[in-house]
Structure 1
């Protein structure tokens, strides 16, 4: 009997030990699995358009707030540019757009893609690391369609230089902002419904916004853009969210088995037109803009719910940000509803001032990021590529991500491994630059370089050439300290010149860039 009990005890120890070992191995496997990555990118959303960042907001964003509250808020986070296309280039490539031929302004819907043929993107890098990659939403980096507008397009042919040629396995979305036309849905490299009709901005449908809504015309006229018969602007957000959710549902099983996915979801809101779905019209205390933002938040919630329902929430890095600050109608929202889209930052979209590029900059990754975290150092969307490469163990060559610093140490509260003295470069609609290093910001112009008046001041003899601000103590950029701190001006001017000339901000071999047609950097001597 004693021998029996002894043998039984030995067997139990072996079984328990084996099960414990298996459990530990499974835990290590889950722990070592690369995360799914979702980047949600809104369009013209100001820092104050998230209720978690603006307690006095006149609308609520509970789903975006969830990302902030359960993750990390970069309170000094910036888009690389104060307008659309340049920021999208930088987000995907980790390289400032002004190193390309696009020195100012934005792109169209139809034309050569701004991303160079063999340039690394987040998508191409992750694809090399075994990820499924998808984009759902607005591209606005140009793609090439066959033919010319109004001159016999061939919509049956595939378009070229779109997302699937830059690392994405799957693409569904629209070509650009709605006012730029080719209003139809695209899938991979195909047009789903030929945009054979024409329309223009309709100013008499919804108060204080134009609309791109039926009826459409058969004949082209001045100011008209191409549109598909089935296109309806107020259904775009709903359509994109449904496609994103479907992709997550489809990819979940492979993700759970060790093949993660990357989903880039650039939404079309709250960019004009404020084409809110009927279910959300009239719901907020901030007019059409507030309604549109509440719908935007709901669509974000649909994506978060899909991650949760598929058991992917714990090991999915969700990044949320906007391509630039709020459109100039932030003034109307402020004066009419007392809603501050730009908080107390100066300016908005297009401007070199903080309101043009200080944006919501949020990350959630429950497995790694401690809920309720904050980082107050200046960071930029150019940093996404290096951050993700650091997470998945990818090596970045010298000719890629030249302006990208890894934020992974900050996500793990390991500040000593982050270069806190790095510089961030800002870029206005007119193509003027500013440099931020620590608390100091030097705008290499006088004026906004965008929409806010005065847009550009020509200094008179003896006046300040540039604008220097102590952002830590003067985030509203009210007091130009150019004459009070000449040594700071000299140091920052030298550093931005180095960053321009070397073709990179980060360490590495100097890289080539486009130098032509660049009058805005008149202080640089080649």
Structure 2
């Protein structure tokens, strides 16, 4: 190597200057110096390669809120809720302003997050077999349901576990538990690549917290109160007819009707009494640790366990998925946060969740793991705007300027916070307005961990690293398909050579009451029949210019109106051809309660009450 070449490579550093002087004085000494320089450069190259390899094997901390609106967070524009830790996370990394949930409902959204695939493509919702996703229920409500995420699905946890990662899920699962008996755990997190699970297998509901009402009010009205009214009217009518001598009514008829009414009332009493202990419980791996669940310091307990997992695995790569129960109703907050926010109990819950994010960041800093940890923060879907308590208190969050919310595919239902931080790898303070999806975490995590993607299935997510590192300016998603349960609701198209982002709706929910921003009469919006308005031609928006979705386009206002719809339809046709028939996990038979699948911490099953969590805390003190 000549001194001139050395000078060029080393940018006139001192070792190169010394090599040039030696070459001028003594060729032999110059040759020795050159060999040393080559060795030095080779060593630097090796170290650089080693560092590069280490950088591809980071730890992962995935923080997923429940029903948090994009307008609830300070870094996305909220001025009255205090979220300093989430804001700190965004300030140290990249903020995605068009980050989208693959579904506006918990179960399908979480399936997409875990597998990197549209829920309609997985075994949770099947276009080929029709079934449950065509009905009103799109999530699991009972712990003793047989539906869930089968072992044939591949989660990012399973990929990383195969790469030697320690894996944990702490918090909410909501993707099923058992198939055939109460100990097969076919859908359980431990059957999907997680080494450790501490949380709830189903979801957090109002019914889980005494005094918070019920999500089954509409069902109880239809299945209990209306039948009882009919029975009462029938009994009264028959009694009058018999009294007037207009009809002969045997006493057995009255007896049977009264027995039927008693059975219905008995069903209601049993349901209200037993639902909470049978469906609202904490598990630690395969064992029930608290039944029914206690909300006392629940966030503190779960985040402390998450911190302990990080400490236990500080010397090896790990994946921690901290899936919050907050801010899904029933809302809760500990004494340190209760009545402290400006937005009632909802604001208290948001601020407590933000505190827990700070606890995780502090542990990573303490253990000097922050620079080798990719942190992701998001929500499974938008805020549930229809959540209003019986007292009229608003228990749902804010979706900012966006229309709609949870359970519909207006932007408010699917546009969620999306934050990634990895110091030294992702530039701090970035803001990216390209369409991205919660499905993108699957291929992103897999690539960074060195895990090959499965080749026997379509992965709909895209690796986020080229976008967040500035290696590309455009999202790899040209089309995104927005499903409402079984039904293709809308399509988003971001042409490669355009700044426009077109969104076409094939149907939209009927908000009620008229003029409202949600379906308040039914608590959530539904996906078919009289609950929706169908659009022929589709309702078209340019989201880049009209993010509030207030001004639908027409041939008069958009010259390329028909060409845009034709391109979208062509993409839909291609997408539909890639869908295969799969078993449906959300059929009526898979979502109903099955007593033989019911888990209970009591061996006798007579009293499903225990608190091993309290016992463990007492032992630790």
Q: TM-score range by the shorter chain?
A: 0.7 to 0.9
Give 2:164's aligned residue. 130
Distance 2:179 2:335 in 1: 32
Once residues 16 and 145 of structure 1 are traced to their aligned partners in structure 2, the CA distance between those partners, rounded to angstroms, is 65
Matching residue of 1:246 = 308
Q: 2:270 aligns with which of 221, 234, 244?
A: 221
TM-superposed CA distance for 1:362, in Å, is: 0.7
User: C-alpha distance in 1, partners of 2:291/2:462?
Assistant: 45
Of the structure 1 ranges 403-412 and 99-108, higher mean CA displacement relative to structure 2 is found in 99-108
Q: CA offset at residue 77 of structure 1?
A: 0.3
Relative to structure 1, is the Cα distance of residues 65 and 31 closer, same or farther in structure 2, using a 3 angstrom cutoff?
A: same
Once the 2 structures are TM-superposed, how far is the Cα of residue 175 of structure 1 from its aligned partner? 1.0
The 3-state SS of whatever aligns with 1:415 is: coil
- Equivalent pair of 2:172/2:201 in contact (CA under 8 Å): yes
Q: Secondary structure at the match of 1:233?
A: coil
Residue 67 of structure 1, CA deviation: 1.3
Structure 2: how far apart are the matches of 1:293 and 1:287?
A: 10
Larger mean CA deviation between 365-374 and 136-145 belongs to 136-145
Work out whether residues 93 and 419 of structure 2, in 8 Å CA contact, stay in contact via their aligned partners in 1.
yes
- Give SS of 1:106's match: coil
Report if the CA contact (8 A) 1:386-1:401 is conserved: no
SS in 1 for 2:107: helix
Equivalent position SS for 1:77: strand
Task: Please tell me whether residue 424 in structure 1 is matched to residue 480 in structure 2.
Answer: yes
User: For the structure 1 residues 496 and 514, does the alpha-carbon distance in structure 2 shift closer, same or farther, using more than 3 Å as the test?
Assistant: farther
TM superposition shift of 1:266: 0.7
Alignment of 1:223-302 (within 5 A): 223=272, 224-227=274-277, 228=290, 231-254=293-316, 260-302=317-359
Partner of 1:360: 417
How far the C-alpha of 1:512 sits from its partner, in A, is: 5.2
Distance (Å, rounded) in 2 between the aligned partners of 1:158 and 1:429: 27
Verify: 1:43 aligned to 2:66, yes or no.
Answer: yes
Q: Which residue of 2 aligns with 1:507?
A: none
2:21 matched residue in structure 1: none
CA gap of 1:20–1:515, structure 2 versus 1, over 3 A, is closer
- Find the aligned partners of 1:436 and 1:446 in 2 and give their Cα distance: 15
State whether structure 2 residue 105 is matched by structure 1 residue 63.
Answer: no
Residues 147 and 585, structure 2, Cα contact 8 Å, conserved in 1? no
Work out whether 1:82 is the aligned partner of 2:109. Answer: no
Any conservation in 2 of the 1:38–1:317 contact (CA below 8 Å)? Answer: yes
CA RMSD of aligned residues (A): 3.5
Alignment correspondent of 2:567 = 491
The structure with the largest alpha-carbon Rg is 2
Residue 32, structure 1, aligned to residue 53, structure 2: yes
C-alpha contact (below 8 Å) 1:92/1:385 kept by paired residues: yes
- Judged with a 3 Å threshold, the aligned counterparts in structure 2 of structure 1 residues 23 and 301 are, in CA distance, closer, same or farther, namely farther
TM-score relative to the length of structure 2 = 0.65
The question of whether the paired residues in 1 share the 8 Å contact of 2:204 and 2:328 is answered with no
Matched, 1:500 2:586: no
In 2, are the aligned partners of 1:46 and 1:342 still within 8 Å (CA)? Answer: yes
State the 1:252 CA deviation. Answer: 0.4
Alignment correspondent of 1:474: 546
Deviates more, 1:402-411 or 1:158-167: 158-167
Aligned residue number for residue 445 of structure 2: 388
**1:405 maps onto 2:462 in alignment:** yes
Point out the structure with the larger helix share. Answer: 2
Query: How many Å apart are 1:296 and its aligned residue?
Result: 0.4
State the shift of 1:372 in Å.
0.6
- 1:345 equivalent in alignment to 2:402: yes
Equivalents in 2 of 1:22, 1:173: separation in Å? 48
Partner in structure 2 of residue 328 of structure 1 = 385
How far 1:501 sits from its partner (Å)?
Answer: 1.9
Distance across 2 between alignment mates of 1:42 and 1:490: 37
Q: Retained in 1: the 8 A contact 2:178–2:184?
A: no
- Is the contact made by 1:88 and 1:323 (CA closer than 8 Å) also made in structure 2? yes
Q: 1:304 to 1:19 in 2, by over 3 A?
A: farther
* CA positional deviation for 1:402: 2.1
* 1:441–1:471 Cα contact (<8 Å) kept: yes
Q: Is contact 2:159-2:451 (8 Å) kept?
A: yes
Please tell me whether the aligned partners of residues 353 and 448 of structure 1 are also in contact (alpha carbons under 8 angstroms): no
Cα displacement (A) at 1:204: 7.8
1:98 maps to what in 2? 120
How far 1:396 sits from its partner (Å)?
1.5
- C-alpha separation in 2, matches of 1:492 and 1:448: 24
2:234 is aligned to none
Deviation track 1:426-454 (CA, whole Å, cap 9, x = no partner) reads: 22357442111111011121336998248
Matched, 1:143 2:177: yes
How far apart are residue 400 of structure 1 and its match? 3.7
SS at structure 1 position matched to 2:375: strand
Q: Which has the higher contact order (CA 8 A, sep 6+)?
A: 2
Contact 2:510-2:533 within 8 A present in 1 as well: no
Task: Specify which of 495, 515, 518 is matched with residue 452 of structure 1.
Answer: 518
SS at match of 1:124: helix
Q: Per-residue CA shift, 1:494-526, capped at 9, x if unaligned?
A: 2123212213xxxxxxx55469999xxxxxxxx
Give how far 1:245 is off: 0.4
C-alpha change, 1:516 and 1:274, in structure 2 (3 Å) is closer
Q: Cα gap change, 1:234/1:78 in structure 2, threshold over 3 Å: closer, same or farther?
A: farther
Using structure 1 for the length normalisation, give the TM-score.
0.77
Quote how far apart the aligned CAs of 1:458 are: 4.2
Q: CA deviation at 1:137?
A: 1.1
1:132 and 1:158 mapped to 2: Cα distance? 23
C-alpha deviation, 1:57, in angstroms: 3.0
In structure 1, the residue matched to 2:198 is 172
8 Å Cα contact 2:116/2:439 also seen in 1: yes
Gaps of 5+ in 1: 1-13, 148-153, 182-198, 206-218, 255-259, 504-510, 519-526
